[in-house]
Amino acid sequence: MLDTEALMRIGLGHYIALSGIIFSFGMIAVMMRKNVIVMLMGVELMLNAVNLSFVAFAKEAGNLNGHIMVFFVMTIAAAEAGVGLALAVAIYKKFHEVNIRFFEQLKG
Amino acid sequence: MLLTTLIFLPVVFALVVAALPEEKWVRPVSFVLSLGHFAATCLLFWRFNPASSALQLVEKHAWVPTFGVNYFVGIDGISFWLVILSAFLTPLAVLGSWTAIEKKVRAFHICLFLLLSATMGTFLAVDAILFYAFFEASLIPMYLMIGVWGGSRRLYATMKFFIYTMAGSLFMLLAIIALIFMTQEQMGQMSASVLDFYNLDVPFVAGDFLNTQTLLFFAFSLAFAIKVPMFPVHTWLPDAHVEAPTPGSVILAAVMLKMGTYGFMRFVLPIFPEASEYFAWFFMLLGVVGIVYGALVAMVQPDIKKLVAYSSVSHMGYVMLGLFAMNLYGTTGGYYQMLNHGISTGALFLLVGMIYERTHTRQISEYGGLAKAAPIYTIAFLIVTFSSIAVPLTNGFIGEFLILLGTFEANRWFAGVAVLGVILGAVYMLWAVKRIFFGPRGKALGHYEEESLDINGREIAVLIPLVILIFWMGLFPSDFLNWSKASLDNLVQNRTHYELKLEE
Amino acid sequence: MEIQFKLVDFLLVSPAVALFIFSCIPLLIKVLRGNVEQNSFATLIWGYMGIIIAAGLTVATMGSNRTAFEGALVFDGLSGFTGLVLLFVAAVSLTFARDSESTNDKQFTENMFLMLNCVVGMLTMAWANDLIVVFVGLELFSLCLYMMIALSLEQRTSKEAAFKYFILGSFASALMLYGISFIYGTVGSTYLPDMISAAPNLLATNRLFLFGFVLLLVGVCFKVAIFPFHAWAPDVYQGSPTPLTSFMATAVKAVSLAFFLRLVASQAFSVERFWPFVDVLQWLAVLTILVGNVGAFRQKSLKRMMAYSSIAHSGYVLIGLIAAGIGGASMLGAGGVMFYIFSYSIMTIGAFGVLHLLETRADSDLTFEDLRGLGRDKPWLALAMTILLLSLTGIPPTLGFWGKFFIFSAAVKQGLVWLAIWGVVGSIISVYYYLRPIVAMYMEEPTAGRYTFELRPLSYFAVLFLALLTMAFGLASEPVYQAVLASVSKVF
Amino acid sequence: MNHALLILTLLIAPLIGFLFNGLRFRSHNAYLAGAVATGASAISFLCSVTLWTKLVSLPVENRVLETKFFEWIAVGTLKIPFGFVVDQISIIMILIITGVGSLIHLFSIGYMSHDERPSKFFAYLNLFLFNMLVLVLGDNMLMTFVGWEGVGLCSYLLIGFWFTDPAKAAAGMKAFVTNRIGDAGFLIGMFILFFTFGTLDYSDLAAVVPKVAELGWTGPVTMACLFLFLGAAGKSAQIPLYVWLPDAMAGPTPVSALIHAATMVTAGVYLFVRLSAVLVLAPHAMEVIAWTGALTALMAATIGITQWDIKKILAYSTVSQLGYMFMAVGVGAFPAAQFHLMTHAFFKALMFLGSGSVIHAMHEEQDIRKMGGLKKYLPVTYITFLMGWLAIIGIPPFAGFFSKDEILWQAWSSPHGSKGLWAIGAITAACTAFYMTRLMALTFWGKSRVSPDVHPHESPPTMAIPLIVLGILSVIGGWIGIPHVIGEVLPGHPPNIFAHWLEPVVAKVEAGHGSAVMEWSLMGFSVGLAGIFAWLAYDFYVRVPSRPKAVAAALGPAYRLVENKYFVDEFYFGKIINPLVEASKAIWLYIDVNFIDKATYFAGDLVSGLAQLVKTIQNGKTQSYALYMALGVVIIMTVVLSS
């Protein structure tokens, strides 16, 4: 007999699971997608998954550290996005496409 | 201060040479300076007390006290002659390379002096880390000598030389570290001094390979065996010798190979007495194999220098055989053979270099009838050959006889096989002599007039000291061995509880 | 919750503040002059002043063993020593950057601004006593690095390097951050001492903490370029402008290793539940040494060769870290690591400096053949390179020998002989590729007239000085080692 | 002069001669060089004579003059002085060496007068003299070994004296290497003796050995003696190491006379006479020595029959005679061995010098087929050669008769001997008579086959005098060792002076069995046999010159076997030396180059291959790198969390 109540009660475990799923999606996006912008989005997704888990843990622990961390992460994610996009623009200017395959010169 | 002076004086000389205004002065100045260094080394004859087996003229300054590493130098009867030998051969190498080295003369002599410094340090260091430092540091000038002034395959040879030697010695470094920690456990404080290593009780289990003493023993042995070089880790030597310039070959054969055997005498035998004894058969076996193998392979070499190089393998096999016979005869003989090999093989390389300068070939098959074209050279070569094949009244005989005597006492079967080396030694040397000096004129002699290939005054001057030593050492070995007798006796008789005292 | 900041806290962080201020001055001047680049030498002087003042302040506050900002920053010997190494490296790299074809143009001011702020981030990470601060510092210097690399005049590979570094760095940061979130979730705090005190207990009982802790270490491993998180290093090092490579290869490693050392000091490695990871870490050390040395074995590009070799050096340091972590004679390991950071920084930056001096174009990528004739044309530079390479090989009596000696000592003492043996095997392989440049410089037939240009004096001087240091500290390693031991004594 | 100074002078004189001539080796002045060298040798001879007179004046039981110049090797209990001893054995040796040596030096002046490098020749000759004196005077085995190797060295130099001919250079090398094989045995023999008896000093050995003998340690002694015999076989050209001696004839003829007949090759015999006290403890070793000696004697004698080179015949004859001496040593007849050594030195040196004179006269022609009827051209050479011939085939009262018959009688009668040994000895004597007569016949008798452009001429006086002196010695040299049975019937009953002289210093073997009648009849038999075969040879080669070919054809393969010296050289080269060289090449190629170096390269290739792997993994794709990281994390997590 399924304990529907337990399923309905959304707790820390669910948040962590969700954050894990989102984090994995982000990782997969970074590893699979050829478009640089989408890869950036993957990174952002990973960071947001982390944010989710931070908030969940902060709620659980009852202190502010987690929330503070989230703010820092958001700021840094913004900065990263800025740098990343700048790089993407640089790529676009040179190759007129933002595909990762242009960046396979350095190897071996 | 004498020992420190001896070690670092060549560094100063190297700087002097570097600062010389004109390159034409480099050779004479280097020669005079190296003679000066030899003269300074000869002061040891007055300062060293041959009656004592203790470590003398000791200097000790803290270097890395945290690990008990000191600048600790001293001299005893074992290092005594090796130091003299190194200092003695350097002026000869300078004189012998007068015309052989044509490019970068200044840099060459700087290398030579740095090498001298490193070899001096190796033989005088009593601290294991200091020893290791000099042992490794000596590689670099030799590496450059072969690589810059060598023959056509010099890059291959010099890389092989460096990597081979380095490969062995790094394991030794680990073993030294382990010993340092053992001193901490057993004596309360860390010390890298060899004297403290002697007092260590390194646990040994017979029959089990993976025990402390056996592993450390093999770590040290590998480093030194490569340097010696023992069969089967000898293959760097022929290449290095063939490609090295003459003075490089001389120093390499005469001095650097001795670092290996010296290492066995200074480290392996006294620090690991049980393992040495337990595995003595193995090293004697390798020594015997080296003797016969080196001789057989030398016999069929088409290149004179390679022949001499393989003869080194054979001769150094004798040294190892003597040392691992672990009795007075073998050890004394092995020690003496180290000096002999330094003299006679050094002389052989000089001789080969001299003729190579004239004919620009080392292929035995291109020679023939040289005895007519270069009579004095022939006489010198024959004398050195006889020394090399241990004809009595030359130095080689004393060493070989004592080694074989000692080996016979330790294990008669090994002696029986080693004696084959006496025969094969004659075979390969005399066969070479026959093909080079006798018979009709060879291709290499080409258009040369009769006797026009003969050596000049400078070259005779290089050879005369060596020839004198060959006979002196053969006739009056006691003049030499008396300086080392006390130390060698100490090494043999107190091997299981070896100790070096400091001279008061 | 009342938050108290004292004046002394600001004094303690003053090196970072000073650096920041001095990084802004030339930028400000440039802006005020209507975006016209001023004399790069003047900019450099501003940078030097910032660094010197920061160093002075670091020295002044060293050994105070205080914490600042509610314990978020800690000023112990470890952070002080690391800070000094960072500042020294920054000064040298800045010198190189000014002389480089790829960075010295209209944007040197920006470059310097970024580099000094990069150091600010590194200092922050070195001081960090809270995982939030660690992350902020790490991101600060990483972002600066991405931009500096991308600022290069070279158009293709530098952009590729920047992008690769950026994507993979962010990826690793995210992993690390994810780990931090689990640590926070299980410990209930991001405060490092809290985590360290809770770690032994939590590691044994809590899988989430274990998960988070391992991810945190993975993040650090990425920065240090430990296998299998090393793959970015060769590409990025090769693609970046050489002055930056020299900076990255040394400063980033120094600060990351210092932080690693703090984590290791948590006694986590002595928790039985954690031993599988210690085993894994040992294997990673071996694989890192192998991949680094083997990867360098057949490289043609000198920068790439040096990049791989720096991976190998990370492997050696990892041996020391493990030795420091497993208890017992931890001081040996910690001392070895810190000494290695010191020695490695000097040798590596020197070697990259030589390469940088020989680059004539922004897109120069030197190969072994390019070194031919250097021994004849630039004897002193060749000599310096020889010394540095021999030191990297670990030939006594150079600094590199002692680095290896201390690390191997720690390994032998801690019973990690097999790691030491792998270290030795790696060193033997390394002999080959470290000697090849020497072969090229002295032994191969020189190409005529390659090195007729003048060497840039400041960088030249810096390289010679570094070579001299390599020899001098090699001959007198004891004072350095004592300083190193003093710096880690409070942490362990 | 005290004896130490005498010994010093004795040794130093040839050394100074060597240095004098050696330092001016370019000189062409054969007369100056020869005079100095001969003078040096003569001084040594005078010293020897003086020493002999000193020795005689000493009481019989204490006839020893010893001197130690300095301690040569002193390690542990091994104390080897640079010491020399003159006693009953060594005085005979040094008298022979310096006496015969002086004569040969004198002869050489004429012989080498047209040579390019006479000075070098005389230098070597003097050096040889020095080493030979060291050999026989050394008061311990190691000093003997010094001389032993030293004479080998000089032999090497002198055989290869005309080194531009590769065959001659090869002969020198062959001699040295073959000797080295023996020397290796000598070394091992010394080691065994040293570790058994604790000394290498002859007088100590003589004192210690009998005591040790009571303990019954015959094993080590037998081994020692056998190894020493290997050494002796090398130096004294016994089976299996005799092969170098015939080739050694490549050297100038005086060298063959001095080194390869009179002195050096007898060193092995001298060694065993010296060590007789040790040898008698090893009866098995004696047996081996006796039989080896006998077989060598026979084998060499048969080969001698088929040779055409005058010097080669003499060389095989030397081998054969040395075989006799070893047979004597083997049966314990040490004085007889020493006696034959001496008489052989006289007549063989004579014959070699005579052959030298012939060769000189024939302008370097050595093939006896191209000689014949030379007696009218070379009267002095012929007469003296005739004396040598009579001596060697054992016609009484020539020197060879006494010594050879003594050996044969001992071989028959000694407790160590046997009838088989005697029989071989007797057959050998017959062969000797045959080939020596053949030599005489083809060289001096019969019709001349000399090619018309050669005009044989008698040698100058410097060459004739030595021949005459040696000829006289070949006649009378045997008279100091007249056997007891003959002495009894002779007027004045001359005693066996030689045997009595040696008696105090050589080991005594218990008296032989056999009666005087037996001795007489055996003596008669062997002399008769020699006479018959001599006549037979005369018949073959002078009276019916066609007969040898017919006989050879009749014998077929057997003749070819002997003519080709039993294919021993071919066996050594084909089955030992060449395979060894080939094996060495193979070792070098397969072990050094293809195995050890390959193993090294393999390590390099392994690293190189791994490097390729690393390079492949490092594919430049950012996303691969991310994948590695993710995989790494997954694997680490699996390991960490699953355990």
Per CB-CB distance under 8 Å, the chain D contacts of B434 are: 160, 166, 169-170, 172-173
pLDDT of residue A3: 64
Per CB-CB distance under 8 Å, the chain B contacts of C409 are: 67, 177, 180-181
Q: Is B477 an interface residue toward D (CB < 8 Å)?
A: yes
Q: Which candidate, C282, C333, C428, C416, places its Cα nearest to that of B171?
A: C428
**Contact check, Cβ <8 Å, C166/A84:** yes
Domain count, chain C: 1
Task: Tell me whether residue D48 is in a domain.
Answer: yes
Res. D333 pLDDT band, cuts 50 70 90: confident
Q: Is residue D209 over pLDDT 80?
A: no
pLDDT digits (tens, 9 = 90+) for B2-54: 899 999 999 999 999 988 888 888 899 999 999 999 999 999 999 888 888 88
Residue C446, preceding peptide bond in cis (omega within 30° of 0): no
Res. A6 pLDDT band, cuts 50 70 90: low
Residue of D nearest to B406 (CA): D191
**Contact check, Cβ <8 Å, D629/C277:** no
Residues of chain B with pLDDT under 50: none
Note down the domain range covering A49.
4-106
* A contact residues 39-68, partner C, Cβ 8 Å cutoff: 39, 43, 46-47, 49-50, 53-54, 56-58, 60-61, 63-66, 68
pLDDT digits (tens, 9 = 90+) for D463-508: 888 889 989 888 888 888 888 778 788 787 888 888 888 888 888 7
Res. D217 pLDDT band, cuts 50 70 90: low
Three-class SS state of A35: strand
Q: Do D208 and D69 share a structural domain?
A: no
**Contact check, Cβ <8 Å, D626/A27:** yes
Residues of chain C with pLDDT under 70: 1-3, 104-105, 448-449
pLDDT of residue C3: 67
- Which stretch of C414-423, D379-388, D446-455 has the lowest confidence by average pLDDT? D446-455
Per CB-CB distance under 8 Å, the chain B contacts of D184 are: 419-420, 422-423
pLDDT of residue D477: 83
For residue A59, the domain's CATH number is 1.10.287.3510
Residue of D nearest to A101 (CA): D621
Q: Which of A18, A85, A103 should we substitute to test contact with C (largest number of C Cβ atoms within 10 Å)?
A: A103
Note down the domain range covering C437.
2-488
pLDDT digits (tens, 9 = 90+) for D95-129: 999 999 999 999 888 888 888 888 989 999 999 99
Per CB-CB distance under 8 Å, the chain D contacts of B420 are: 184
**Contact check, Cβ <8 Å, D629/C290:** no
Domain count, chain A: 1
Q: How far apart are the first and last CA of chain D?
A: 99
Distance CA C15, CA C5 (A): 17
D233 vs C199: which has the higher pLDDT: D233
Q: Is residue D196 over pLDDT 60?
A: yes
CA distance D557 to chain B (A): 34
Distance CA C318, CA D382 (A): 97
Whole-number percent of chain D with pLDDT over 90: 20
Q: Do D130 and D231 share a structural domain?
A: no
Q: Do D471 and D343 share a structural domain?
A: yes
What are the φ and ψ backbone dihedral angles of B75, each rounded to 5 degrees? Answer: -135, 140
Task: Tell me whether residue D217 is in a domain.
Answer: yes
Question: What is the 3-class SS of chain C, one letter each residue?
Answer: CCCCCCHHHHHHCHHHHHHHHHHHHHHHHHHHCCCCCCCHHHHHHHHHHHHHHHHHHHHHHCCCCEEECCCCEEECHHHHHHHHHHHHHHHHHHHHHHHCCCCCCCCHHHHHHHHHHHHHHHHHHHHECEHHHHHHHHHHHHHHHHHHHHCCCCCCHHHHHHHHHHHHHHHHHHHHHHHHHHHHHHHCCCEHHHHHHHHHHHHHHCHHHHHHHHHHHHHHHHHHCCCCCCCHHHHHHHHCCHHHHHHHHHHHHHHHHHHHHHHHCCCHHHCHHHHHHHHHHHHHHHHHHHHHHHHHHCCCEHHHHHHHHHHHHHHHHHHHHHHHHCCCCHHHHHHHHHHHHHHHHHHHHHHHHHHHHHCCCCCCCCEHHHHCCHHHHCHHHHHHHHHHHHHHHCCCCCHHHHHHHHHHHHHHHCCCHHHHHHHHHHHHHHHHHHHHHHHHHHHCCCCCCCCCCCCCHHHHHHHHHHHHHHHHHHHCHHHHHHHHHHHHHCCC
Note down the domain range covering D516.
186-555
Mean pLDDT, to the nearest integer, of D287-304? 91
The contact set of C with D (CB < 8 A) is 163-164, 167-168, 171-172, 175, 207, 210-211, 214-215, 218, 222, 227-229, 231-232, 234-235, 274, 276-277, 279-280, 290-291, 293-295, 297-298, 308, 429, 432
Neighbours, chain B (3 or more CB pairs < 8 A):
C, D
Domain count, chain D: 3
pLDDT digits (tens, 9 = 90+) for B193-226: 898 898 888 888 887 888 889 999 999 999 999 9
Q: Is D492 an interface residue toward A (CB < 8 Å)?
A: no
Q: Is residue D165 over pLDDT 60?
A: yes
* C contact residues 93-132, partner A, Cβ 8 Å cutoff: 132
**Contact check, Cβ <8 Å, A50/C178:** yes
pLDDT digits (tens, 9 = 90+) for D246-286: 888 888 888 888 888 888 889 999 999 988 888 888 888 89
Do residues B275 and B217 make contact, with C-beta atoms less than 8 angstroms apart?
yes
pLDDT of residue C460: 93
Q: Which of D602, D605, D606, D607 should we substitute to test contact with C (largest number of C Cβ atoms within 10 Å)?
A: D607
Q: Where are the domains of chain B?
A: 279-493
Per CB-CB distance under 8 Å, the chain D contacts of B307 are: none
Write the DSSP symbol of residue D113.
T
pLDDT digits (tens, 9 = 90+) for D581-625: 888 888 888 888 888 888 888 888 888 899 999 888 888 888 899
pLDDT of residue D537: 84
Q: Whole-number mean pLDDT of chain D?
A: 87
Mean pLDDT, to the nearest integer, of A58-74? 85
Q: Whole-number mean pLDDT of chain A?
A: 85
